[in-house]
Amino acid sequence: MRNSLRYALSVTSAIAVFTGTAWVLQAQQGAIQQEGSIAPQAPQAQGRGGRGRNAGPALPTPKLADGTVNLGRVPGEKGIWNVPYITNMGMRVVGSDGQLLPEIQKANAEAAAARGAGPRGGGGGGGGRGGTKSEPWVPFQPWAAAVYDYNSKNESKYDPEGFCLPPGGPRLFATPYPAEIIQVPDQKRVIMIFEGATHIWREIYMDGRQHPTGDQLNPTYLGHSVGRYEDNGNTLVVDVVGFNENSWLDYFGHPHTDKMHVVEKYTRPNKNTLHYEALIDDPGAYTKPFSVAWDIPWNATGELTEYICQENNRYLTRMTDDFGQPVFGPPKVPGEPTNGPKAATPASKGTAGTTRPAAPKKATGTK
């Protein structure tokens, strides 16, 4: 395994493979809404997910035939989970009571009071977003703090998800495109399908197996997941290990290593709400474990559609590294015209200089 020092020193070469996200949206308008509470508000246009919870009274939690919580559709009905856009998990850290840390609640209140000066943690310009100094409660190791500050300063220019790579880890439920959860009790597995996040699927083994060990545990973007039900079948607990290091925890650029161990909890307090909580334990990047949590609203009439992130992603061909060299393609020869701007031009950027797709179903990187 690569230790944290090697990982930190390799950051410069790693950025030659990965680049900034294409799903950053109206951060100046939505940051307070996204960071203000455990339950997501209704952020501005965010792909096809994150559109807020359904109106009307809460309906009871649906159950499977054996009494286990039903985390998906009721037979004969449609429905998808409108995954919200969580840009900064550092502002979603919760305590043992499941509530945002008091420091975060205070920071959110101060940001709301000073909204005219720009929301805390937004994606605005002016040289970064505050970095580690604005998140003293996140237990960074020194090298991870340096990487996070770097990602903050360049406003996540090298986000791997911008290359249409899988988000990995808890970020699966923080990327603003719909998802479905399909429980298959007779096969002892749970399948999760994501419209966005490079249109991927995930399998959770419910047959009591253990994680592979040693060379049998092949590091992947999504890791190896085994699950079980707790709380009389009301909570799905998923244990995940075996992540590779080719993704970030979130758009803001919190790093992780292949030592990361995630324990997820899925509950459905009512039909219209999925509560997601993840314990992140990564001794390679953080000094102690911490938990993040948020709610995901149900869209009772939605269905998944085709979304191809890789289509027409021209941003890749124009991306240059910190030394002015193309990330893809041959090195630039002095005196020759450049292949394109160093980053997306202002005309192709969203609010506050953050890149975003022109429309939810268009190519991610059409810039």
Residue 221 and residue 194 in contact, taking contact as beta carbons nearer than 8 Å: no
How confident is residue 28, by pLDDT bands cut at 50, 70 and 90?
A: very low
For residue 3, CA distances in Å to 17, 30, 105, 282 come to 20, 37, 34, 12
Amino acid at 160: P
Ramachandran assignment for 357, one of left (phi > 0), alpha (psi -120 to 50 degrees), beta (any other): beta
Domain ranges within the chain, ordered by starting residue: 4-299
Give the integer Cα–Cα distance in Å for 340 and 320. Answer: 9
Q: What pTM does this model have?
A: 0.76
> Residue 32: pLDDT above 60?
no
Residue 103: how many other CB atoms lie within 10 Å: 12
Give the integer Cα–Cα distance in Å for 224 and 272. Answer: 28
The pLDDT value recorded for residue 89 is 97
> Residue 26: pLDDT above 60?
no
Give the integer Cα–Cα distance in Å for 99 and 109. Answer: 15
Q: What phi and psi, each to the nearest 5 degrees, are found at residue 352?
A: 60, 25
- Report the mean per-residue pLDDT for the chain: 79
Q: What phi and psi, each to the nearest 5 degrees, are found at residue 326?
A: -60, 140
The pLDDT value recorded for residue 225 is 98
Closest CA to 40 of 55, 29, 30: 30
309 vs 120, more confident: 309
- Per DSSP, the residues of 79-92 read -EE-------GGGS
- Angle between helices 27-35 and 102-113 in degrees, nearest 10: 140
Closest CA to 63 of 190, 309, 234, 298: 234
How confident is residue 296, by pLDDT bands cut at 50, 70 and 90?
A: very high
- Per DSSP, the residues of 255-286 read ---TT-EEEEEEEEEETTEEEEEEEEE-TTTB
pLDDT in tens, 139-181: 999 999 999 999 999 999 999 998 889 998 999 999 999 999 9
Amino acid at 311: E
Residue 365 has what DSSP assignment?
T
Burial of 95 (0-12, 13-18, 19+ CB in 10 A): middle
- Which has the minimum average pLDDT: 4-18, 132-146, 243-257, 284-298? 4-18
The pLDDT value recorded for residue 263 is 98
Give the integer Cα–Cα distance in Å for 266 and 275. Answer: 6
Give the integer Cα–Cα distance in Å for 60 and 286. Answer: 39
> Residue 343: pLDDT above 60?
no
> Residue 354: pLDDT above 70?
no
Three-state SS for 63? strand
Q: What is the mean pLDDT of residues 32-45?
A: 39
Residue 134 has what DSSP assignment?
G
172 vs 119, more confident: 172
The pLDDT value recorded for residue 241 is 98
Q: What is the mean pLDDT of residues 6-18?
A: 38
> Residue 45: pLDDT above 80?
no
Strand ranges (E), the chain:
80-81, 93-94, 179-184, 189-194, 201-205, 224-230, 235-241, 261-270, 273-281, 290-299
Residue 236 and residue 69 in contact, taking contact as beta carbons nearer than 8 Å: yes
> Residue 71: pLDDT above 70?
yes
Amino acid at 205: Y
260 vs 127, more confident: 260
H helix runs in the chain, sequence order = 4-9, 11-14, 27-35, 102-113, 142-153, 315-318
Q: What is the mean pLDDT of residues 104-114?
A: 91
Three-state SS for 190? strand
Residue length, the chain? 367
- Which has the minimum average pLDDT: 19-33, 119-133, 281-295? 19-33
